[in-house]
Amino acid sequence: MAASTRTHASPFLAIFLIFAGAGLLWLVAVHSLAAYLADVAPEWALMLSPDNGDAILKIADVQLGSARSNAGETSGISAPIVSRRTEDRVRELVARGVPSPIVSPELSNEDRARLRRELGGALLANPQDSRALRMLGQIAENDDDARRLMTSAAKRSLHETLAVYWLMQDAFINANFRATANYADILLRSQLDLYKFIVPILARVAEAKDGAPPLKQILRVNPPWRWFFINYGAVTMRDPLKALGLLQDMRDNGTPPTALELKSFLSYLIGGKAYDLAYYSWLEFLPPEEINSQGFLFNGRFEFPLSGLPFDWEFQSGNGVRIEVVDLTDEPYQRAVSLDFIDGQVGASGVRQLAVLAAGEYVFSGSFSGAVRARRGLRWRIACVDASGALLAESDPFVGNMLAWRDFSFKFTVPASGCPAQQIRLELDAQSASERIVSGSARFTNLAILPAH
């Protein structure tokens, strides 16, 4: 009898298990599809699962204008929602140094209340969701509530970019410069592409009375965004001496500025025609052994490695010529700049150095050896660095065979006005394409500029 009962029950159990399995598969499929659609088509996800928190948050994010674009930027930062009511607030923040302010979006009372209900429900379902907290902060009625919610969002996830940016903006507006610098550091370490929005704020922090110390502490450890700050931020500071102070602090108390960072700063000063300050700033960062050998012309015997900075030698190797510093053996000098020409037409090229000489008479001198085959040869020229580019003097041409070292010199005068800086350059003396056909080689060393008397 028991065996008969088991026999009759087996088909019903099998049918039940089939329907139960199908139901479970349906639930899994619906939830998996809803989870997928929550990101790509949140409205469809809600049709399958009305309580899908991810879909609710995605739709709210789009409505608030803070969803991530395909480029990976946060549109709430790069293009804040602005209505007629918020235009005045945006203008105020921009005037205070925030290049792309985050402002509370303009919403109707009904939309604001609906979003609060939906976001509150999503937060109840997942109390650790930083997105819901951040969006509640975006629609908060006042700064105090927004600050509390944005802080909670950032505590849950420092990758909540818009929340961290809002907190940085809020700290800056309220002159909390230490918090401003810390939030900026967090943002730039995770999303360096936001530098154009953040670096200008750090520049204003550096200019503020109490802003430089906390910023200096961060710059000393050489964060990965430091070059971006110097290249795009320090160069916008109203007082370049304060920017120089940041570089000096890096040298004295932390990781010294790199050659690339110094070049950015010096190029900014030179571009603004602050030649004296640029020259002083360059001297500030020379090693002691190089300062002791500094004259009116730097590194004239090429004994020091080239730094690539404006007041050191700069080489421009064009087509048909290779320019480099070479070691000399069994000769009166140890090193020289060498120009090796390949038979053919030489492109734009040369050797140059920027100088800041006071008005007066000078002598440029040096030593040369080589064999240059060209119609006009090479010349050293000294010209003013200004709109006119007035030529002050030039050497005799270096052409023909001069295999033994030969000394040369020529005089020049720096005028009392209109010539704040000078460029010393070695270049091919060519006025036509045929005159750019050169072969052979040339070497120069023992270069110097001295007063004429």
Instruction: Please report, for the domain that includes residue 385, its CATH number.
Output: 2.60.120.260
Are both 142 and 183 inside the same structural domain? yes
Q: Give yes or no for a contact between 410 and 363, defined as CB atoms under 8 angstroms apart.
A: yes
Positions in the chain whose pLDDT score sits under 50: 1-7, 22-50, 53, 67-76, 78-85
Are both 248 and 171 inside the same structural domain? yes
If you search the block for the tokens 């105090």, which residue do you land on?
Answer: 144
Q: Give yes or no for a contact between 53 and 125, defined as CB atoms under 8 angstroms apart.
A: yes
Whether 219 is in a domain gets the answer yes
Helix (H) or strand (E) holding 268: helix 259-271
Q: Give yes or no for a contact between 376 and 397, defined as CB atoms under 8 angstroms apart.
A: yes
> For residue 230, with 0-12 CB atoms within 10 Å meaning exposed, 13-18 middle and 19 or more buried, which class applies?
buried
Are both 245 and 322 inside the same structural domain? no
Are both 237 and 262 inside the same structural domain? yes
Distance (Å) of CA 434 to CA 290, 346, 425: 41, 10, 22
Are both 279 and 381 inside the same structural domain? no
First and final CA of the chain: distance in angstroms? 132
**Per-residue pLDDT, 133:** 87
Query: How many domains, the chain?
Result: 3
Are both 134 and 261 inside the same structural domain? yes
Are both 70 and 131 inside the same structural domain? yes
Token digits for 30? 């619906």
**Per-residue pLDDT, 15:** 59
Are both 17 and 64 inside the same structural domain? no
Q: Which amino acid is at 404?
A: A
Distance (Å) of CA 320 to CA 90, 137, 401: 56, 63, 20
**Per-residue pLDDT, 62:** 58
Are both 81 and 121 inside the same structural domain? yes
Q: Which of 266, 284, 302 is the last residue of a domain?
A: 284
Whether 446 is in a domain gets the answer yes
**Per-residue pLDDT, 16:** 53
Q: Which of 48, 64, 82 is the last residue of a domain?
A: 48
**Per-residue pLDDT, 63:** 61
Whether 206 is in a domain gets the answer yes
Whether 301 is in a domain gets the answer no
- Give the model confidence (pLDDT) of 306-339 as tens digits: 998 989 999 988 788 889 999 998 778 899 999 9
**Per-residue pLDDT, 37:** 43
Are both 61 and 166 inside the same structural domain? yes
Best CA proximity match to 285, nearest among 316, 310, 315? 310
Whether 414 is in a domain gets the answer yes
Best CA proximity match to 122, nearest among 110, 111, 112, 134? 134
- Give the model confidence (pLDDT) of 43-83 as tens digits: 444 444 445 546 555 555 656 665 443 333 443 454 444 44
Token digits for 262? 């110094």
Whether 293 is in a domain gets the answer no
Whether 297 is in a domain gets the answer no
Are both 349 and 217 inside the same structural domain? no
The set of residues, in sequence order, having a beta carbon less than 8 Å from that of 148 and lying 6+ positions away, is: 137
Q: Which amino acid is at 445?
A: T
Are both 77 and 31 inside the same structural domain? no
Whether 307 is in a domain gets the answer no
Domain that holds residue 331: 314-451
